[in-house]
Amino acid sequence: NAGVTQTPKFRVLKTGQSMTLLCAQDMNHEYMYWYRQDPGMGLRLIHYSVGEGTTAKGEVPDGYNVSRLKKQNFLLGLESAAPSQTSVYFCASTLRGGETQYFGPGTRLLVL
């Protein structure tokens, strides 16, 4: 039981490049979330999903897109990376809304 995994662990991009971050969970959770964490700050919600085929905007959705084609996977895309998107990205999941959130190990992204 791997829990929540994230791919890749670290990535360097040039401004304008695109990439996709993958989050996978093997706990059969319905809800999945993408957060970003910047130095000295708490986590901010980017997008979330309440089930397969659904997505919704969080607090800071601009510049990101997401997809939840399979229940166990939640993808975060950056179409045209900007230096302001340099951050650590965390994925989380819950069995249902309003329950304990379980986090992945994070992806460190540097945009030059």
Partner 1 sequence: GIQVEQSPPDLILQEGANSTLRCNFSDSVNNLQWFHQNPWGQLINLFYIPSGTKQNGRLSATTVATERYSLLYISSSQTTDSGVYFCAGGSYGKLTFGQGTILTVHP
Q: Is 43 in the site for partner 1 (CB under 8 A)?
A: yes
Per CB under 8 A, does 39 bind partner 1? no
Tokens of 41: 């700050």
Q: How far apart are CA 110 and CA 101, in angstroms?
A: 26
Contacts of 112 (CB under 8 A, 6+ apart): 12, 13, 14, 15, 83
> Which residue in the set 71, 98, 110, 111 belongs to the binding site for partner 1 (CB under 8 A)?
98
Distance CA 46, CA 34 (A): 6
Our finding on whether 42 is near partner 1 (CB under 8 A) is yes
The verdict on 101 binding partner 1 (CB under 8 A) reads yes
How far is it, in rounded angstroms, from Cα 2 to Cα 79?
Answer: 29
Which residues in the 62-91 window bind partner 1 by CB under 8 A? Answer: 88, 90
Task: List residues binding partner 1 (CB under 8 A).
Answer: 31, 33, 35, 40-45, 48, 50, 58-59, 88, 90, 92, 94, 96-103, 105-106
